[in-house]
Structure 1
Amino acid sequence: MYKLMGNKRLLVLMVSLILFFVLFGLTLSREKITGPEKFLRDTVAWTQSLFNRPARFVADVVQDIRDIRTLYAENKTLRLTLTQYARDTMKLNELEAQNLRLKDLLGFTEKQKAANNYKYHPAEVTAYSSDPYSKVITVNVGARDGVKKDMAVISIDGLVGRVMDTADFTSNVQLLTAIDSVKATDSASDKAETSAPTKAISATVKGKESDSFGVVSYDPDSGLLVMSKISPSDPIAKGDTIITSGIGGVFPKGIVIGSVLSKEVDKLGINYIAYVQPAADFIHLREVLIVEIPE
């Protein structure tokens, strides 16, 4: 009995397969399809489109998220690269500017060595005093480098100031603008110029060293240097270059201080004063030279 039932099932399966292939063949061979087939095909297509739209939307959203993450990662990398590029560019510009300054400084020292026997200690300005009234800068050379108190400090343009105090590896430099005209005294006295760093500087005119003399101090009202104690017979004139005279033993002779802008009678009506434009830039100092006079 079980065998008969198994044969029937096999027979039904075979008949079904035959009918399927017959119907499949008839469908392919016919150019026209029936109404039920059209309905079935449209229904299946509509159902597929119904599910396909949300699927595509989800797929697009997922792809957009992936694209956003990719763009975010790329933008982050580009920002880091741009930041590094900007940092490197700034560093390169600074190095190029420093290289030019050092070349000028080297040329200046070689020229000065040929003119005199002074020893120069190159130094880099590392800090400006936070107190605007102290007018002090810090440089990266000190006592270990042979720097001593009251040594003159210059730039390639002219006189900057003098060493106020030293540590082993750094020194504080008092700028020329700290030499207040109110505190100015006759610099012909060695003691006066050596003991107080705010005293005026003895000066003369380049090319007229034998005929011109005065003392230079800073005038905070005009922002200029003032050369005072100029005798009526002094040939100093507008445009002349003011240099250190060497009197007093602190500032070596021949260092450029500035150029004469004008000359007028002093308040007492006896001597003359001259307003002098400083040669050095006291605000943008980067590298300076400390002058050592050989003993």
Structure 2
Amino acid sequence: MFKFMGNKKIVVLLVSLIIFVILMGLTMLRPGMTWPEKFVKDTVSWTQGLFNRPAQAIAGFFQDIRELKNLYKENKVLKETLSHYARDTMRLNKLESDNKNLKELLEFTERQKGLDNYKYHVAQVYAMSADPYTSVVNIDLGERDGIRKDMAVISVHGLVGRIDKVSEFTSSVQLLTELDATNNQSKAIAATVKGKEKSFGIIQSYDHESQLLIMTNIDTNDDLAEGDTIITSGMGLVFPKGIEIGTVVSKEDGDFGINYVAKIKPAATFRHLSELMVVEVQDPR
């Protein structure tokens, strides 16, 4: 009995398979689809579209989130790279500036070796007053480096000022812009003309409006002229001889016409100072 039931199942399966193949053949031979087939196809397509659009939107949302995360990471990396580039650029600019200044200092000291008996202490400016009317800068040399009050301070271009106050490790420099004829603390500068050492005058004030030094007590017979280079004469016993101060831009009658007054354009700049030199007069022995 069981054997018959098993054979019956096989027969039913074979008959069903034959009917299915026949139906497939008839379907393929028809020129078009029947309306039930069309209905089923359209229904399935519409249902797929109904579920497909939200699925695509959700997939696109998560894709946008992934892209946003990637964009954030890339932006962070670019910012770090830009920051490093800006830092390296600033370092390079500073190194180039320092290299240029040191070359100028080296050329200056080599050039001066055969001209005078001075020792030059190279100092770094580490602080400047923010007040334009308080012309004082601080340098990183002090008593332990042999710095003394009233020593002349120069740049590679010319006289800048003098040492005003000295501590163990640092010093304050009073710039030429602090020269004031009415201030007893201000040190006047005995000056002469380079190549015309018979000329003589006193520089004891600075005109902030014109940014020029005022040279007085010039004799009426003095042949000082516009374009002459003014240097220290060494007669004032504060500033050693031969340091360039500036260039004569004008010469006119002084008070009561008994002497001349000249205006001098400083050779050195008093802004953005970085390296200076303190002049020490060597013992001739």
Instruction: Give TM-score, length-normalised by structure 2.
Output: 0.89
Q: How far is the alpha carbon of 1:277 from its aligned partner?
A: 0.3
Q: Work out whether residues 181 and 219 of structure 1, in 8 Å CA contact, stay in contact via their aligned partners in 2.
A: no
Deviations 1:8-51 (A, max 9, x none): 69966983686267526742672445432332232222211211
Partner of 2:208: 220
The question of 1:66 aligning with 2:53 is answered: no
Equivalent-residue separation in structure 2 for 1:256 and 1:160 (angstroms): 10
Task: Structure 1: state its 5+ residue gaps.
Answer: 185-195
**Amino acid of the residue matched to residue 146 of structure 2?**
G
CA distance in 1, matches of 2:18, 2:240: 118
Match of 2:165 in 1: 165
The 8 Å contact of residues 124 and 287 in structure 1, kept in 2 or not, is answered as yes
Aligned positions, number: 279
Distance 2:8 2:82 in 1: 78
Q: Distance in 2 between matches of 1:236 and 1:80?
A: 61
Give the aligned partner of residue 282 of structure 2.
294
Instruction: Quote the Cα distance in structure 1 between the aligned partners of 2:29 and 2:174.
Output: 107
What residue is the counterpart of 1:37 in the other structure? Answer: 37
Code of the aligned partner of 2:96: E
1:230 aligns with 2:227: no
Partner of 2:95: 95
Change (3 A) 1:22 1:220: same
Distance 1:15 1:285, change over 3 A: same
Kept in 2: contact 1:257–1:280 (CA 8 A): yes
More displaced 10-residue stretch of structure 1: 232-241 or 91-100: 91-100
Structure 2 unmatched runs, 5+? none
- Letter paired with 1:40: V
Amino acid at match of 1:93: N
Aligned to 1:86: 86
What RMSD in Å do the two structures reach over aligned CA positions? Answer: 2.4
Aligned to 1:271: 259
Runs of 4+ residues over 4 Å off in structure 1? 7-14
- Could you say if the C-alpha distance between residues 27 and 119 of structure 1 is closer, same or farther in structure 2, counting changes exceeding 3 Å? same
Match of 1:191 in 2: none
> What letter is aligned with 1:287?
E
- Whether 2:237 is the aligned partner of 1:249: answer yes
TM-score (norm 1): 0.86
CA distance in 2, matches of 1:177, 1:264: 22
For the structure 1 residues 23 and 272, does the alpha-carbon distance in structure 2 shift closer, same or farther, using more than 3 Å as the test?
A: same
Distance in 2 (alpha carbons) for counterparts of 1:28 and 1:148: 117
How has the CA–CA distance of structure 1 residues 24 and 178 changed in structure 2, closer, same or farther, with 3 Å as cutoff? farther
Q: What is the alpha-carbon distance in structure 2 between the residues aligned to residue 284 and residue 28 of structure 1?
A: 98
* Bigger shift: residues 123-132 or 17-26: 17-26
Confirm or deny: 8 A CA contact 1:143 1:168 kept in the other structure.
Answer: yes
Partner of residue 281, structure 1:
269
3-state DSSP of counterpart to 1:290:
strand
> How much identity, in percent, do the aligned residues show?
53
- Asked whether the 8 Å contact 1:163–1:172 carries over to 2, the reply is yes
Describe the shift of the 1:266–1:8 C-alpha distance in structure 2 as closer, same or farther (beyond 3 A): farther
Residues 232-280 of structure 1 deviation map (CA, whole Å, 9 limit, x = unaligned): 1111000000000011222110000000001011122211110000000
